Every structure is written in C-alpha cells, then in structure tokens.
A and B are shown apart, each in its own frame.
Chain A
C-alpha cells in the first residue's frame, strides 16, 4: 500500500519467490493451534511485534496464489546451507521462462539469531536478476539489501535496516536512491506492542524527485485473539483491513478489504483454506467483489516427494478463465 514494494508496482503476486514466504525466520509464526499464541510467549512481558510487512500475512496466506500455465519446480538441497531450485514455466499469456534460484541460508537453525548471512539469488532465462541479502549486524539489528533488474536495467535497489527491541520494531528503508536524478524513496516503519494482543504502528513514506516531493503517513493496528487476528492500515493512500480466523485444525478463513485513493477502487475478498492431512491435500478458495473466484488444490503425492498443484481462476464479469497446473519436486 504505502510500502516501497507497493510503490514499485510489486504486490504479493510479484514477489520474486512465489511459492514460499521470503523470510520465515524473521517473521514470527502464525497463531497456531498447538503452540501458545505469540503475544503470550514471554511471561508477562510484551513480545516483539514482528516486521511491518508481515502484518497482513496471516490473512493473505489463506488466499490462493494465482497460477497460470504449466509450472514445474525442482528443488535440490545441496547441503545444510545451500538450496537450489529450477523453475520451468510455460504460460499462455506471458513468455515462457526458466528460472534458477539459489539460496544460502542456514536451514538447521539453532535459533533465530544466526550469524551467517542469508543470500538469495534468482536469475531468469531473459537475464533478469533478483537478489536479496540479509545480514545480522548484531542480535537486534538486521540489514537487508534487495536488487531487482529487468534484463539489463536495474529496477529496484533497496537497502533496509531493522531494529528489533523487546516490544517494538523500527525499520528504515531507502529505495532507489539515485544521485544523478536526485530521486529517492525513504520509508520508515515503527511497530509497538501496546498491550497483550494489541500492536500499533505506522509507516511514513517520503519520496523525492527532481520536481516533486511528497510524504504519505499510514497508521497500522493489529489486534489478536486466541484464534483470530484483525489488522487495519489506514492512511491517505487508502485503507487495508483484514481479518483472519482459525475455525478448527482444518479450516482457516480470511476476509480482506482494500481501498485505494490512487486507483479509486475498493475490493473485498473472502478466502478460505482447508487442510486434510489424511488426504494429503490443502485447498484454498477465494471469492472477490470483482466477480473473480478461484481455487487451488495442492496435493502431495505421498510416497514421492512431489506436490501437485491445480488451480483455476474465473472472472465472471469478463468471462475469462486462467487455469494452472504445477508440480513441485523435492
């Protein structure tokens, strides 16, 4: 919304590493059925609220990812630090591509605060590069650098520093600093755990170009219950509200409402996720106020280390269909 990734035109769909959430070690885990909820973890002291980008993730994870065409992902674990994956994507609406993704990340983590940096790189068959590097400068300070190119041209170069206190998180991001064109985008995030279950915070985006300058302030709040999470972002750029509810071990439900003043559009979505571990299957479904419905079925072919994904998205208003088929091996 007001974040840099939104400004750069990327949302969750354009996230370079489509299938998994990028930094599972850094973002606190979702309220789970078995583990105690995160706001009660520290015996009376308020826990760290996590990063600003992760505020809506518990709701967004319930929604199905739009898949299109045929996609095959082969994951190989070379050692406890190295993982490589090859992605072949044949698509009807965009040119087909092969992607190579490599990760240097300590997988058998002794704790969240590991010393080794996390380096993630992804290269396209057309030459586009995506690189993330995450460094722990100290126990509480983390630094991140992101580079994205489109073939030979740099689209995004972004540097972020985050400080995690006992019950607050502060982060400063500088995106696309360009000395020659005198343009920069600065984003500051702050989140504070106010009481058990309540997190308040804000985001300030300041962008400056040669001829223009502007700032957008967005306030954020998140309230969590034993098995639900409600989040609200409101500011001049629009509002984004989401509600996540875990009905039982198998069913999770999410409702999302987005309004943007830039595009003058509001969207309401309802999504659900159903897990049947006995049948080795996860199904995610979604209904939209733009008359878009979609469902994605993930079935793990149990003796083989492979997962089959089948999904369909239908736009009833425009009578359009997107069907996708995917196989994840390894």
Chain B
C-alpha cells in the first residue's frame, strides 16, 4: 500500500510534483470556468450599487420593450379593425360615387362635345350676329 502512495505525484517531494505551468492543471482550471463566467467575473470590480442599478435598468428595459411590443400589436389590430368597420364603407361609397360622376361626365363629353363637360355648362355656340335689314 505504501507503494501506491509513493507513486502518486502529490506524495513525493516538491520537485517531482508537476510545475504550475503544466497543461493538466491549467486545463482543469480552464474547463471549470467558461468564457462568459470569466467575463462576468470581471464585473465584480464595479461597486455593488452600480451593479444593482445596472441590473435593475436592464431588466426594466427588457420588460418595457416586451410590453411595448405587445401593446403595439394590440393597438395595430384594434386600429385596423376599427378603421375597417367605421370608416371603410363610407370611403368605398364616396369613391364609387365619384367614379360614377366622372364616368357620366366623360360620357357627356363624348356625346355632346368638349364644351359640355360640366353639368349646366355653356351651350357652346356663339349667339348669331344680329341681322340688319
């Protein structure tokens, strides 16, 4: 049993123990901490109040962004459907009326000549010159 203890690297004198720069222990150290955790560890240099204020601000802005997104979704839906129901029929009807009137105007123009474009327009012909006897 004592032989096994002698064989383990920690049991022997200090020179036989692997140096600090050996890759095994360094690999073990690197495997224990990911790069994100190391970066997070860097933030520990800031004071506590700053860290807590930053955390509150960050979570608050995430919440606000989520609420704003869902509100804008709902508002867009409500606005579009309300516009469809309240305004669109009137718009359709007035457009149709305008187009019909335009069509009538065009037809009258084609039929009666270019001077009779508007309703109640001029007769178009100049009055005959007075006849002198």
Which residues of A are in contact with B by a Cβ distance under 8 Å?
A: 274, 276, 278-279, 281, 283, 285, 287, 293-295, 297, 299, 310, 312, 314, 316
Contact = CB atoms under 8 A, between A and B. Distances in A.
A122 to B, nearest CB: 31
B72 to A, nearest CB: 15
Contacts of B81: 293, 314, 316
B89 A293 contact: no
Interface in B86-127: 86-87, 89-90, 93-94, 96-97
A295 B84 CA distance: 10
16 contacts: A276-B90, A276-B97, A279-B93, A285-B85, A285-B86, A285-B87, A287-B82, A293-B81, A297-B89, A299-B93, A310-B89, A312-B85, A314-B85, A316-B78, A316-B81, A316-B82
B73 to A, nearest CB: 13
Nearest to A316: B78
Q: Which DSSP category, helix, strand, loop or mixed, fits chain B's interface?
A: helix
A324 to B, nearest CB: 12
A316 B97 CA distance: 32
Interface range on chain B: under 10, 10 to 19, 20 to 34, or 35 or more? 10 to 19
Interface in B40-82: 78, 81-82
A95 B93 CA distance: 34
A294 B78 contact: no
Given A283-B90, A285-B87, 16 more contacts: A274-B90, A276-B90, A276-B93, A276-B97, A279-B94, A279-B96, A279-B97, A281-B93, A285-B86, A287-B86, A293-B81, A293-B82, A295-B85, A314-B81, A314-B82, A316-B81
A208 B41 CA distance: 80
Contacts of A299: 93
A295 B96 contact: no
A278 B93 CA distance: 10
Contacts of B85: 285, 293-295, 312, 314
A279 B99 CA distance: 11
Contacts of A310: 89
A314 B80 CA distance: 12
B93 A293 contact: no
Nearest to A293: B82
Given A314-B81, A316-B78, A293 B86 contact: yes
Nearest to B96: A279
A279 B90 CA distance: 10
A295 B86 CA distance: 6
A98 to B, nearest CB: 29
Contacts of A295: 85-86, 89
Nearest to B77: A316
A-B pairs, top 9 by smallest CB distance, nearest first, are: A279-B97, A285-B86, A297-B89, A295-B85, A279-B93, A283-B90, A293-B82, A295-B86, A281-B93
Given A283-B90, A295-B89, A278 B82 contact: no
A134 B81 CA distance: 45
A264 to B, nearest CB: 26
